[in-house]
Amino acid sequence: MEDQIKAFPFEPMFNKIIITLNTEEVDNNLVLSDNTMSETQIVMAKGSSVHNLEVGDKVLLDLDKMSVKEVNPDNAYETISRIKIDPIMVDGVMYAIIEDRTVKAKYKN
């Protein structure tokens, strides 16, 4: 993971951070899969106005803040919640650009 962080080609603007899109944890390692998004992610890059987080920090996201309500495409009378992110593809791997305010905690090293 350290090599991926050092070689990461983007730096987001202002209060934005780029995070992994990990979905599950196996043997204490975050793993990408097609399941539900995990609230635990890793910061890959940060904007110049982000002061409380560092690149490489393992963070806990507020998924409720990231959710939006939409009409269910299968039932017009029902609403569903979806996590809204700004995706970015780097070397075939999907990451997300989010605001730093959606981070509710960071793990102590």
Question: Looking at the DSSP assignment, which residues form a beta bridge with residue 69?
Answer: 81
Q: Note the pLDDT of residue 18.
A: 97
Q: Range of 66's domain? A: 2-106
CA angle 67–73–96, rounded 5-degree value: 35
CA distance 70 to 79: 5
Neighbouring residues of 90: CB distance < 8 A, sequence distance ≥ 6 = 8, 9, 10
End-to-end CA distance of the chain: 15
CA distance 27 to 37: 17
| Nearest CA-CA partner of 94 in 103, 82, 85 | 85
Which residue ranges of the chain lie beneath pLDDT 70?
A: 24-35
The string of pLDDT tens digits covering residues 63-84 is 999 988 999 999 999 999 888 8
Q: Note the pLDDT of residue 24.
A: 58
The residue type found at 82 is R
Asked whether the CA dihedral 87, 104, 107, 67 is positive or negative, the reply is negative
Q: Note the pLDDT of residue 44.
A: 97
| pTM, rounded to two decimals | 0.83
Q: Note the pLDDT of residue 2.
A: 85
Q: Note the pLDDT of residue 33.
A: 45
CA distance 59 to 18: 12
Q: Note the pLDDT of residue 26.
A: 55
Tell me the pLDDT of the chain averaged across its residues.
88
Our count of domains for the chain comes to 1
Report the CATH number at residue 54: 2.30.33.40
Q: Note the pLDDT of residue 32.
A: 46
